[in-house]
């Protein structure tokens, strides 16, 4: 009886995975060139930026929150790193600075939400605008280019490691760390507890304030990492980069089966969700679907996934 | 009025009702009792059309019926009032009463507010409730909201009302109002099915009683011809013995004391102490500030003035973490909203307040988690299908044991329990009392907030009585009586002067 229960819950978790396989199969039948090593590596590289942001978003959503400011954080961190590099500062320091800035922006979100008790949607809607404005001020509204030569920096977005794109590697390593963090540590348990029942968590001696600040900081850090990878790939920082990225990240989390009400979900689902979106983007391009219609397809897939999820519950 | 014969029902192979018979006469109040999981709610869900029976017949007013949908039962005048009230706090009483059945001009959606208010006022008067129909529902006490629910079902011409634990959240005074209403309904020929764990209420308001155990009907008795002990042994299938087990703990030093504790608009200048091995009962009516007081002692709220002393040392408890560090544990009043994460497994719920001790440098140690689970299951006799069972699928009594188990893991010095046996059946109640006694024997200082006077009297070493945020008195064991406690809970001598 015990094993049976486990089996049903496993099947439930397999839902997103089956969806992914289905989409891959359909696209391959329509255009076999989808399933070539080159194209698949390409998909992995394209997916990595959304996946990194979506990982952070998973933590935030597990606590029952949301972070709309990730796209702006990505742009600001990218711009900081690029500007520092353009002015000849050591690339390692530039990258670390970008990451620290992103983490701080995230921490600020967490602080407003946890200490100021502002609804996460409202708080990050506001900071999304603020951080975007800061990016535009900082860059004077112009792209930052002329980043100089740095193997380290170029590897981050464009390099290969044993034939696998470095961004995809970064994503996998990050995934593993976050998976363990969520599954095996007290921090992970506290994240679930705060999202599952905040009041019960606080009354059990868990500091919901601290957990929230950590979680938003983590999301800021990951958005910054994605921003630096993007800057490396484009060899310049765009002040308008990352707009609407929050929506793709939220979509990946939801496709992965994590509940927007918090407390329920897993990060494995998120990586599958991000792959579904990436495969759709790439596949629809290969099939020559117009970019306008692509949006209709993507939105419909999300809707379908959520409806199927409802049925299951 | 209603005759259910040979009702049988299984859910995915589990036989939950076995040939159950149940009859309800016109104008009677019929108690339905049984431990959690005995099949009471399933039987009522079949009556009200939420579930379909597998076998058996249901006759309503002489006509055999097969309900496939709750609407059909509602049409025949069968209404159910659930434990969780369906009152919208931001609407007026009249709007709540007519919710979904609004009177509109030519059914076009424009509401006839005046007419609805007038009709609502009539209904409220009939039930003896002295409130204006334009009052917002949130301004009413839980007890009055309950009566609004009854009024709502009468608006749809209910002839049979099923009440599931109607008094669980009511104070004694509110229960009196509810009972007056029930008696009025009886006179009007309405029949009521009354589900409750509280024996005193059943004996004071019901005409007949049917007891279910493990899905079988054990028997139906006329209340006047039976007694407490007979009903209990019907329910548990054995003699339960003393309702409140005897405690022989040695009273030690003062573990926790508060001096002049004050929180604006909640409680004022409260001083009390609790010693090791002692159970301090805190009694009072709803809104007396009892929960607020204990939540402040636990650091969940912060005091405006006053001191909290542990082992004689004054301490500042900014949040629950501080309190836990000092060895204070707190079983909160409402286990579903404050005690448990209902979607978590038993294991995860037990872990919640013990994460630090169960882990090693931040990494969870699975073996530790399982041994905590095993320890608590055997210590508290939690009945579950395994550590991964979800808390929401446990019975009320077992849920409460999980909440208590959460705290025993930290070996508390002071244990605060707020309404520890609310919505818990007789058997599990006694088990919880035994757990409390064991802890007291081990030298834990226990504070118990309770609205049930028999529980307060049966379990406490001393009783502190609160009224409107003030501590009226602290009574010793030989000074207790229901009358005396109520006297202080309703304002004591000051009440006369007012």
For A199, the closest chain B residue by CA position comes to B338
Burial of B245 (0-12, 13-18, 19+ CB in 10 A): middle
B363/A184 touch (CB, cutoff 8 Å), yes or no: yes
Cβ–Cβ contact B393 with A under 8 A:
no
Torsion of CA A63, A68, A74, A80, to 10 degrees: -100
pLDDT, mean of residues A201-212: 95
B352/A186 touch (CB, cutoff 8 Å), yes or no: no
What lies within 8 Å, CB to CB, of B480 at 6+ separation is B456, B457, B460, B463
A5 in any annotated domain: no
A133 in any annotated domain: yes
B352/A201 touch (CB, cutoff 8 Å), yes or no: yes
Nearest 5°: the CA angle B57, B63, B66 is: 50
B337/A205 touch (CB, cutoff 8 Å), yes or no: no
Contacting residues of B for A186, CB less than 8 Å apart:
355-356, 358-359, 362-364
A165 in any annotated domain: yes
A22 in any annotated domain: no
Q: How many CA atoms lie within 13 A of A6 on its CB side?
A: 6
Residue B496 CB coordination number (10 Å): 7
A219 in any annotated domain: yes
Give yes or no for residue A313 having a pLDDT over 70. no
Which residue among B321, B341, B385 places its CB closest to the CB of A196? B341
For B350, the closest chain A residue by CA position comes to A204
Give yes or no for residue A28 having a pLDDT over 90. yes
The Cα–Cα gap between B427 and A272 comes to: 48
Q: Does domain B2-236 have CATH number 1.10.1740.10?
A: no
CATH 3.40.50.300 domain residues, chain B? 2-236, 254-497
Name the DSSP class of B197: S
Contacting residues of A for B342, CB less than 8 Å apart:
196-197
A189/B385 touch (CB, cutoff 8 Å), yes or no: no
CATH of residue A179's domain is 1.10.3470
The Cα–Cα gap between A282 and A280 comes to: 6
In the block, tokens 């009903």 appear at B231
Q: What is the band of A69 on the pLDDT scale with cuts at 50, 70, 90?
A: very high
Task: For domain B254-497, give the CATH number.
Answer: 3.40.50.300
B320/A201 touch (CB, cutoff 8 Å), yes or no: no
Chain A positions contacting chain B at CB under 8 Å are 1-2, 5-6, 184-190, 192-193, 196-197, 199-207, 263-264
Give yes or no for residue A139 having a pLDDT over 60. yes
A203/B320 touch (CB, cutoff 8 Å), yes or no: yes
Higher pLDDT, A274 or B69: A274
Structure tokens at B258: 């508060």
The Cα–Cα gap between B86 and B67 comes to: 23
Structure tokens at A69: 């400011």
For A194, the closest chain B residue by CA position comes to B341
Structure tokens at A170: 């970064």
A75 in any annotated domain: yes
Contacting residues of B for A2, CB less than 8 Å apart:
385-386, 388
A8 in any annotated domain: no
Q: What is the pLDDT of residue A2?
A: 42
Structure tokens at B320: 């629950």
A-B C-beta contacts closer than 8 Å: 82
The Cα–Cα gap between A244 and B134 comes to: 47
A204/B406 touch (CB, cutoff 8 Å), yes or no: yes
* Strand partners for B216: B213
Question: Which ipTM value was assigned to this complex?
Answer: 0.83
Contacting residues of B for A196, CB less than 8 Å apart:
341-344
Full domain range(s) for residue A173: 44-312
Q: How many domains are there within chain A?
A: 1
Contacting residues of B for A6, CB less than 8 Å apart:
388
How close, in Å, is residue B337 to chain A by CA atoms?
A: 7
Which residue among B320, B359, B406 places its CB closest to the CB of A186? B359
B341/A197 touch (CB, cutoff 8 Å), yes or no: yes
A300 in any annotated domain: yes
Determine the distance from the C-alpha atom of residue B62 to the mean position of all C-alpha atoms in its chain, rounded to a whole number: 36
Torsion of CA B303, B306, B308, B309, to 10 degrees: 170
Model confidence pLDDT, tens digit, residues A146-202 = 888 888 999 999 999 898 999 999 999 999 999 999 999 999 999 999 999 999 999
Which residue among B338, B343, B364 places its CB closest to the CB of A203? B338
pLDDT tens sequence for chain B (498 residues): 899 999 998 877 778 899 999 999 999 999 998 876 688 888 999 998 888 999 999 999 889 998 888 888 888 899 988 877 788 989 999 999 988 778 888 878 888 889 999 999 988 887 777 889 999 988 888 778 888 888 888 887 889 999 988 887 777 777 888 898 899 889 889 999 999 878 888 898 999 999 998 888 888 999 999 888 888 888 877 666 677 888 888 899 999 999 999 999 899 999 999 999 999 999 988 778 999 999 999 999 999 999 999 999 999 999 999 999 999 999 998 888 899 999 999 999 999 999 988 999 999 999 999 999 999 999 998 888 889 999 988 888 889 999 999 999 889 999 999 999 887 877 888 889 999 999 999 999 999 999 888 899 999 999 999 988 999 999 998 888 888 888 888 877 654 433
Higher pLDDT, A106 or B488: A106
Contact A181, A188 (CB under 8 A): yes
């Amino acid at each position: 009886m015990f094993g049976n229960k486990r089996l049903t819950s496993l099947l439930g978790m397999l839902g997103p995975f089956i969806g992914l396989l289905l989409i891959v199969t359909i696209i391959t039948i329509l255009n076999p060139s989808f399933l070539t090593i080159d194209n698949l590596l390409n998909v992995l590289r394209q997916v990595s930026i959304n996946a990194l942001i979506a990982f952070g978003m998973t933590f935030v959503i597990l606590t029952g929150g949301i972070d709309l400011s990730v796209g702006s954080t990505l742009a600001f961190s990218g711009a900081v790193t690029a500007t520092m590099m353009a002015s000849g500062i050591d690339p390692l320091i530039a990258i670390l600075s970008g990451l620290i800035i992103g983490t701080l922006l995230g921490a600020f979100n967490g602080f407003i939400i946890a200490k100021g008790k502002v609804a996460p949607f409202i708080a990050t809607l506001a900071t999304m605008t603020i951080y975007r404005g800061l990016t535009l001020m900082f860059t004077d509204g112009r792209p930052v280019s002329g980043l100089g030569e740095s193997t380290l920096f170029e590897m981050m977005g464009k390099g290969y490691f044993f034939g696998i794109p470095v961004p995809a590697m970064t994503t996998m390593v990050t995934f593993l760390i976050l998976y363990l963090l969520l599954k095996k540590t007290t921090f992970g348990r506290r994240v679930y507890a705060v999202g599952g029942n905040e009041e019960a968590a606080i009354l059990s001696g868990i500091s919901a304030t601290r957990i929230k600040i950590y979680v938003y900081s983590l999301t800021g850090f990951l958005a910054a990492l994605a921003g630096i990878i993007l800057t490396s790939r484009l060899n310049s920082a765009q002040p308008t980069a990352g707009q609407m990225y929050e929506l793709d990240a939220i979509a990946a989390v939801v496709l992965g089966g994590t509940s927007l009400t918090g407390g329920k979900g897993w990060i494995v689902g998120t990586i599958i969700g991000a792959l579904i979106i990436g495969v759709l983007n790439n596949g629809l391009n290969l099939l020559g679907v117009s970019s306008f219609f692509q949006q209709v397809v993507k939105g419909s897939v999300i809707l379908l996934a959520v409806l199927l999820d409802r049925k299951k519950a | 009025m209603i005759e259910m014969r040979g009702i049988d029902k299984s859910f995915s192979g589990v036989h939950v009702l076995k040939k159950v018979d149940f009859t309800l006469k016109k104008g009677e109040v019929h108690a339905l009792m049984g431990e959690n999981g005995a099949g009471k709610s399933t039987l009522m869900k079949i009556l009200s059309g939420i579930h379909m029976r597998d076998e058996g017949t249901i006759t309503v007013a002489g006509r055999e019926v097969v309900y496939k949908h709750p609407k059909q039962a509602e049409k025949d005048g069968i209404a159910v009032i659930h434990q969780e009230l369906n009152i919208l706090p931001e609407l007026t009483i009249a709007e709540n009463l007519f919710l979904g059945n609004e009177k509109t001009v030519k059914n076009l959606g424009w509401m006839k507010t005046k007419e609805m208010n007038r009709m609502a006022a009539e209904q409220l008067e009939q039930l003896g409730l002295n409130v204006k129909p334009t009052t917002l529902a949130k301004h009413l006490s839980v007890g009055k909201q309950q009566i609004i629910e009854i009024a709502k079902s009468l608006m749809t011409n209910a002839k049979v009302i099923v009440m599931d634990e109607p008094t669980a959240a009511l104070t004694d005074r509110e229960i009196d109002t509810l009972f007056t209403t029930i008696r009025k309904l009886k006179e009007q020929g309405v029949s009521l099915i009354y589900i409750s764990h509280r024996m005193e209420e059943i004996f004071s308001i019901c005409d007949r009683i049917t007891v279910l155990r493990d899905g079988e009907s054990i028997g139906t008795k006329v209340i006047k011809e039976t007694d407490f002990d007979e009903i209990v042994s019907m329910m548990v299938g054995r003699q339960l013995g003393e309702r409140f087990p005897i405690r022989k703990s040695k009273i030690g030093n003062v573990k926790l004391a508060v001096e002049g504790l004050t929180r604006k608009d909640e409680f004022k200048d409260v001083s009390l102490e609790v010693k090791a091995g002692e159970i301090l009962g805190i009694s009072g009516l709803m809104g007396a500030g009892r929960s607020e007081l204990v939540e402040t002692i636990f650091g969940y709220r912060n005091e405006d003035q006053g001191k909290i002393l542990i082992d004689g040392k004054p301490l500042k408890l900014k949040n629950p973490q501080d309190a836990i560090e000092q060895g204070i544990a707190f079983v909160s009043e409402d286990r579903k909203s404050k005690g448990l994460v209902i979607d978590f497994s038993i294991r995860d719920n037990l872990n919640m307040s013990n994460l630090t001790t169960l882990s090693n440098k931040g990494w969870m140690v699975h073996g530790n988690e399982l041994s905590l689970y095993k320890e608590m299951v055997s210590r508290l006799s939690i009945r579950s299908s395994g550590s991964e069972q979800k808390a929401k699928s446990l019975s009320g009594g077992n849920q409460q044991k999980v909440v208590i188990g959460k705290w025993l893991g930290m070996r508390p010095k002071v244990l605060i329990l707020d309404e520890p046996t609310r919505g818990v059946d007789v058997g599990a109640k006694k088990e919880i009392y035994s757990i409390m006694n064991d802890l007291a024997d081990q030298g834990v200082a226990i504070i118990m907030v309770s609205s049930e006077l028999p529980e307060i009297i049966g379990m406490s070493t001393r009783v502190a009585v609160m009224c409107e945020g003030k501590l009226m008195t602290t009574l010793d064991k030989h000074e207790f009586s229901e009358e005396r406690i109520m006297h202080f809970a309703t304002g004591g001598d000051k009440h006369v002067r007012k």
